[in-house]
Amino acid sequence: MEGNRGSSQRCDLLQKIREFTRAIVQDLSIGRSPIVLIDRFRIHCTNPHANCCCSSVLPNGKEILTLQRENHVHRLDVLLRVLLIVQQLLQENRHGSKRDIYYMHPSVFSEQSVVDRAINDICILMQCSRHNLNVVSVGNGLVMGWIRFLEGGRKFDCINRPNTAHPIPVQVEEVKDIVSVADYILVVEKESGKRLSRYPHQKQMAYDAKQLRCPEVCWLGVFPSDSEKYCLPQQCFLPLTAEDKKKAEAMLNRCYLQREVPRWRLELELMLQRGVKFEIEALSVHSLSFLSKEYITSKIQGGVHI
């Protein structure tokens, strides 16, 4: 049944791709500049006092791409090149990474973010998620603990080797038969912030927020208020940069912050008021094992999270 559904989705996508490219070719054949309309999305408004219900499901205006604008010509060229690669992946029922696609035409794409933006544009145009295009990210995460699952015929048995880290599958839609006796999942985010800060089009990911969001996730720490609770010395603090302040103030203006996570707002306001920040590793000032054996353990056992 799952195989039939996947085959049907591929056929539908291939039909949409053919119709899209046919419309562009027809416009060019009669000397008319093609116009591509791409929905814009956002996950929040900028009124912190709004009694609204912002949704990423509904578009917030449209972006118009046309060959009459020089900066759009290259973007459309990239979009069509990536679309051709996606079409081939779907036709052959193969998967490729975003990095694989970049190296197909590195001189044209110039950098990875150009390909990432084209893939997002295609997802919006075709009204699908990236995994529907058979495009995967480069796997660089690890999982360990009390869990066992299957992915594409491969068995990931972390239960029998709970202290061994296994690579997180990139084709998450194919993960099935999950067995776990864990009480909670601890997500350690160390690299994602670095990647996102270099990626200028992450706001366009809002179109796929309904697939990506995890409303049950909680912020375990570290909180700005932890600096007093755990008596961090002054040498652990770093002054907030102008960019830090700009980002924090922009977050405070998001409509959902007061409505859904007011304690996040309080922590951000406290950080701005003090004008300093610190990294979670600063807690190691007490001892090298303080972070893992005391801080995280006490937070989980005490339910101290936001």
Over residues 143-174, the pLDDT tens digits come to 889 999 988 788 889 888 888 888 888 777 77
- Beta carbons of 89 and 135 less than 8 angstroms apart: yes
- Beta carbons of 228 and 267 less than 8 angstroms apart: no
- Beta carbons of 304 and 228 less than 8 angstroms apart: no
Per-residue model confidence (pLDDT) at position 206: 55
Q: Which domains does the chain have, with CATH numbers?
A: 2-136 (1.10.10.10), 142-180 (no CATH), 218-302 (3.40.1360.10)
Per-residue model confidence (pLDDT) at position 261: 83
The pLDDT of residue 200 is above 60: no
Q: How far is the C-alpha of 16 from the C-alpha of 134, rounded, in Å?
A: 15
Over residues 171-190, the pLDDT tens digits come to 777 788 899 988 888 888 76
The mean of the pLDDT values for the chain is 83
- Beta carbons of 221 and 305 less than 8 angstroms apart: yes
Amino acid at 120: N
User: Is 103 annotated as catalytic?
Assistant: yes
303: Cα within 13 Å, side-chain hemisphere: 1
Q: How far is the C-alpha of 250 from the C-alpha of 244, rounded, in Å?
A: 10
* Beta bridge partner(s), residue 150: 155, 176
Over residues 258-301, the pLDDT tens digits come to 777 888 899 999 999 999 999 888 888 888 888 888 899 999 88
pLDDT band at 136 (very low <50, low <70, confident <90, very high): confident
Q: How far is the C-alpha of 54 from the C-alpha of 57, rounded, in Å?
A: 9
Choose, from 102, 103, 184, 230, the residue flagged as catalytic: 103
- Mean pLDDT calculated for residue range 191-208: 49
Over residues 28-84, the pLDDT tens digits come to 999 998 999 988 866 556 555 655 555 544 556 788 888 888 889 999 999 999 999
Q: Which residues contact 192 (CB under 8 A, 6 or more apart)?
A: none
The tokens of 211 are what?
């697939």
